[in-house]
Structure 1
Amino acid sequence: MLRHALAATVLTAGVLAPGVTPAAAEPCRPVGTAGLADLVPGESTLGLSALPPATVDLPPQVHLRGTAETFNRRWSFALREGRMYVKEAARTGGWRTMDLPGCLAGQVSGISVDDDELVALDRSGRIYTMDHALNAPWTWNWTHRYGAPLWLGDGNTVPYDSARWSWSVLSPGEDGVWRDTAGNDHPVGGAKVSHVFALSADGSRITYVDPWLPADHSYEMATPHRGRFQAEALSTAASTSLVVNRYGDLYTRLYDFDISGADKIFFSYSYQDQRGAAFPKIQLPAPDWVHQPKIPASGQITDRISVHKTGRGSNARELRVEGRDQGRTGYWHKALSAPGWDFTATGQPLRGRLLHNTPDDRSTDTLAPVSPHDYSGRQGEVTVRVDAFDVAVAGTPLTLQAGDRTLRVTLHTVDGLRQTRQTPGLTSQPRQFYGAIELPRSVLDDLDAQHPALSGLIRDRLGSARFTDTDVTVTDRTLTIAALGLTLDRT
């Protein structure tokens, strides 16, 4: 969520100055400056020469962001046998061995960097954050803290014990603004939006973990096709996610906690059309997945995919996919909105798993099962149904039926802001959503043509409005829509 400037005052309690090593008495509980305002990035490499040269075999350049090798604008990082290495991103070779806290030395199982923050996992999947990753090495410092309040929680782990995860940072310094579906640019906010995004074992669930939110694994972003698309790999940078399935179908989406519509404390959102508004609110629903062009079928591709930021604004992204073209190894790449792919040869051996890159769209050839959460209830003569409700899906069909007339509208839901832990998925623990009921314009234009019970409900409960905000509370047995004054039971 929005990193409010007041948080800096709170976070100074119990953190170390840049470059200060955690006390030896607490070697496995490092604290640092993550969550505070950024240092002004410079081009200094002060502290790099003090690090010993790497003695392991490492590539001359890192071209794809992953959990063994990764990069940002300034630095490339690599992981080998639990230890981390760094070099200047613009330089060929020159790797150095990083000095890590005692809790991480020799114990790192995965890394990912974006913007000025780097995340490393220990062998148990616990998250550690290194701050100032766009700055000189002397400023780098670590924290195990993660979660509410204000990035001061006791820590968290990567969801699903996933090997397919990525660190994402959208920042005012590097990105500045992002664009909503109405075409309006909005400032990132007072500080950064940082998430770990992780892919489930079957590739159909993406959970994101924000260091300012409760230390749980409850927040999700749906995959394409209403959360049923099964991805083989995931990469995320600056809140732009890239996924691919086994047939080479690639999708991107701009999405994070703030963009989703969940941070009502600091942002204003609206489902009403914000195009041309003098002071536009953030347009909802949030941007959906965009199906990217297929890579030419003549080229081979693997499941090593990567996205990174290339400048200011949410369209400044480059997509990369490891592969082969005419016998040459390297990577396919395109700007986010470019119409097609180009190939760059690197000569490095392919390390990913080959995908079956078909020329046709096979996005729906492998889909996860439909959500089993169906609900039904009655409001007088009107039967109300919600089918296949999924906590990660923003828009769900809401069916209203009276007599022989059936009206299908949309129930929009956004996972709400909370500071206490929530069980993932739907359980007996009530789950609160920010909701809205959307009526088609055609229905409102000819309301009297509807069944009297339907038109009465629309006038009395929804005020004949196209959008009606409503609280929505869901468990694994009931779904309550406050605006309708109705609780539906699981069917």
Structure 2
Amino acid sequence: MTTPKHPGPSFASPASHRRWHRPLGPLLLASSLWLVACESGEAPSTDDGPGAVAERAAPTLESRLPGIRTVPDPLCLEEYAGTTGLLTPSLLDADQYNALEGGAEAAPEVARELPGVVHLRGRQQSFDGEHYYAVHEGRIYLKANRETTGIDQPWRALRLPRCLDGQVSEISADGSVLLALNQARQIYTLDYANGAIGAGGWTRRWGPFFWTDLGGWIFEDVRDWATTHFTGSDEYFVDGGGYKQAPAGILNVFLLRGDGLRITYLDPWLPMDQSREVCGPERGTTVMAGLSGSGSTAMVVAADGEIYTRLYEFDVSGGNAIFLDYSWQDQRELAQPKIQLPPPDWIHHPRVPGRITDRISLRKLPPGSEHRLMRVEGLDASGNSGYWEKDQADSSARAWRFVATGEPLQGRLLPLPQPHRGQAEDYQYQGRLDGYSAELLDFNPYCSPARLRVDVAGEAVELELHSTDGLRQERRARGLDLYPRYYRAAVKVPEPLWQTRSQRSAAVQAFLNKHFAERPVLETELYATLGQVRIAQACWTLSRDPGNLLDALTQPPLLDPGTVLAILLAQQEDGRQPPLCLL
């Protein structure tokens, strides 16, 4: 077979490759939305300088109409089998082999085009704790990771599924998982620790229930993406309270979107849509220029050169109520603390003492989530090219160490001549709580907490509304719309107010006693739309003008048994009864 040459990622593809990965969706609603809104998912113009405010990309039809399930490619049906993702892997590939021993050695003319060492992860080259990977002419080659194994060996071909062979456009690896994209950016997954490393280990399945939906993909505007796998050598992760928690097998993919203001994340156990995001640094207002990830940790470099890392994904953030126990209550002094919410926030790292680019890389280091090896491409004071590196856990300004490689810089030098900040995606709601006027000043569908201000008999009571995305097994649109979006949430009395509550007016004391009693945290379900926020446990409702209803039209979500089960389990974990008010 003649193999086309693919020197870099191509986001366009023949219709025969592109047509089968799109989801089943409500076509009549899509047609209506097309008539009322001609929107683009491309990044907004960045002609303005660093002092200007970056615009968020407008919603697309794909983000508003994610469909129900993915249509499989009938020409490649065998690729929806494979051992990866099965609850009980069966060795479908009898001809399995060890990655360090098997596979045909790369031809000399191919080997000359491949790197000697993979220093930084990217879309064409990647690594994990055992291997280097590289893409050449639509195929994947691998060899031992010399830095971690001490083994120096030639590149060998990785066996690929029939429809992927010669069509690989991008890759990303972490832990024991390798993700590869074809020319249509459809996802192929290989977990060589839980199946075979031959063609039988690959699968195109992605999504519920239990990794059985028939395909996922990387969205067209995504500029950087990273596979992260938290398992194997990872003994624990550190939760939002600083407690060590045992991880489950966690596969997560971070996607840096085209406007630089959003990080979408995908999980093969969750619906294939654009509804889940990681709130970016500075409450989602930092314009990000580059992204990498490892072990459920995202690393970003901003357009102004600032660098951040954050441990975040579905299990860590509080979404997996079925298999894990969480709590918004203080877990100090408990023998077996639950996973403390809220999850860990961004870590802002010292600036690199040299010129850097937006090409970055992250690699997990055992034993726990606090250790990650950070690398940033750049120059030293003498103009030598290479990369700066440090451990995430070392916060000192002198932690950065330069490693010269002599390789040409591939990233964009920072700072970028474009806006460095954007507007927060905040909404303001108003209402009356227990007869008192109240304002929810800055509720954000992806960034928590929000400020809840209640005027209790003329005295302002400032509360915190914390929220985290709840479990869903059915697809829904991104952000807020006309349909209630479920969050696991809590209203918290700030520590200074809680400690001085006995000194407040009788009305304030009565208000706090009614809703908080002896604990400063009220755990609750929260349901949010563009027009209303309902804090269920307290029977509080706040409202706003939802704006143009045509602009808010999205795909109606299906009844989601996963959400219903998650709500019941969360109530059981919290030790509370369902709210008495009619929701």
Match of 1:418 in 2: 472
Q: Which of 132, 146, 152 is the equivalent residue of 2:192?
A: 132
Unaligned runs of at least 5 residues, structure 1: 1-23, 358-364
Query: Residues 422 and 27 from structure 1, CA distance in 2 versus in 1: closer, same or farther, beyond 3 angstroms?
Result: closer
Q: CA-to-partner distance for each residue in 1:228-275, whole Å, 9 max, x for gaps?
A: 111101111001111111221001111111110111222222223323
* Separation in structure 1 between the aligned mates of residue 298 and residue 367 of structure 2, nearest angstrom: 17
Query: Residues 235 and 385 from structure 1, CA distance in 2 versus in 1: closer, same or farther, beyond 3 angstroms?
Result: same
* Separation in structure 1 between the aligned mates of residue 246 and residue 466 of structure 2, nearest angstrom: 24
Letter in 2 for 1:46: E
Q: CA-to-partner distance for each residue in 1:64-98, whole Å, 9 max, x for gaps?
A: 11111100111111123433222222155622333
Match of 1:20 in 2: none
Letter in 1 for 2:124: A
Q: Which of 529, 533, 551 is the equivalent residue of 1:475?
A: 529
Q: Which of 183, 198, 202 is the equivalent residue of 1:142?
A: 202
Match of 2:446 in 1: 392
What RMSD, in angstroms, separates the aligned Cα atoms of the two structures? 2.8
Return 46-55 or 268-277, whichever deviates more.
46-55
Unaligned runs of at least 5 residues, structure 2: 1-73, 91-95, 546-583
* Separation in structure 2 between the aligned mates of residue 302 and residue 28 of structure 1, nearest angstrom: 42
Structure whose residues are more often strand by fraction: 1
Q: Percent identity?
A: 37
* Separation in structure 1 between the aligned mates of residue 114 and residue 463 of structure 2, nearest angstrom: 56
* Separation in structure 1 between the aligned mates of residue 97 and residue 180 of structure 2, nearest angstrom: 23
Match of 1:71 in 2: 127
Whether the 8 Å contact between 1:73 and 1:134 is mirrored in structure 2 is no
Whether the 8 Å contact between 2:106 and 2:154 is mirrored in structure 1 is no
Q: CA-to-partner distance for each residue in 1:462-481, whole Å, 9 max, x for gaps?
A: 33530010110001111111
* Separation in structure 2 between the aligned mates of residue 180 and residue 116 of structure 1, nearest angstrom: 23
Match of 2:217 in 1: 157
1:25 to partner: Cα distance: 6.7
* Separation in structure 1 between the aligned mates of residue 363 and residue 109 of structure 2, nearest angstrom: 26
Match of 2:136 in 1: 80
Whether the 8 Å contact between 2:106 and 2:141 is mirrored in structure 1 is no
Match of 1:109 in 2: 169
1:384 to partner: Cα distance: 1.9
* Separation in structure 2 between the aligned mates of residue 392 and residue 274 of structure 1, nearest angstrom: 24
Q: Compare relative contact order (CA 8 Å, sep 6+) and give the higher one, 1 or 2.
A: 2
Match of 1:460 in 2: 514
* Separation in structure 1 between the aligned mates of residue 312 and residue 225 of structure 2, nearest angstrom: 15
Whether the 8 Å contact between 1:405 and 1:450 is mirrored in structure 2 is no
Whether the 8 Å contact between 2:178 and 2:190 is mirrored in structure 1 is yes
Q: How many residues align?
A: 459
Letter in 2 for 1:177: Y
Match of 2:332 in 1: 275
Is residue 407 of structure 2 the alignment partner of residue 348 of structure 1?
Answer: yes
* Separation in structure 2 between the aligned mates of residue 406 and residue 160 of structure 1, nearest angstrom: 47
For 1:33-432, list aligned pairs within 5 A.
33-36=83-86, 45-49=100-104, 55=110, 57-90=113-146, 91=151, 94-132=154-192, 137-138=197-198, 141-159=201-219, 161-171=221-231, 173-189=232-248, 192-296=249-353, 299-325=354-380, 326-338=382-394, 339=396, 340-356=399-415, 366-432=420-486
Letter in 1 for 2:101: L
Letter in 1 for 2:314: F
Q: TM-score, normalised by structure 1?
A: 0.86
* Separation in structure 2 between the aligned mates of residue 309 and residue 108 of structure 1, nearest angstrom: 25
Letter in 2 for 1:282: I
1:136 to partner: Cα distance: 8.1
Whether the 8 Å contact between 1:46 and 1:138 is mirrored in structure 2 is no
Query: Residues 199 and 376 from structure 1, CA distance in 2 versus in 1: closer, same or farther, beyond 3 angstroms?
Result: same
Q: CA-to-partner distance for each residue in 1:109-137, whole Å, 9 max, x for gaps?
A: 21100011111122222211012069985
1:415 to partner: Cα distance: 0.5
Query: Residues 304 and 424 from structure 1, CA distance in 2 versus in 1: closer, same or farther, beyond 3 angstroms?
Result: same
Letter in 2 for 1:174: S
1:51 to partner: Cα distance: 6.3
Whether the 8 Å contact between 1:444 and 1:464 is mirrored in structure 2 is no
Structure whose residues are more often helix by fraction: 2
Q: TM-score, normalised by structure 2?
A: 0.73
Return 76-85 or 63-72, whichever deviates more.
76-85
1:427 to partner: Cα distance: 0.8
1:353 to partner: Cα distance: 0.9
DSSP-derived class of the 1:388 partner:
strand
Match of 1:487 in 2: 541
Whether the 8 Å contact between 1:75 and 1:89 is mirrored in structure 2 is yes
DSSP-derived class of the 2:316 partner:
helix
Letter in 2 for 1:309: K
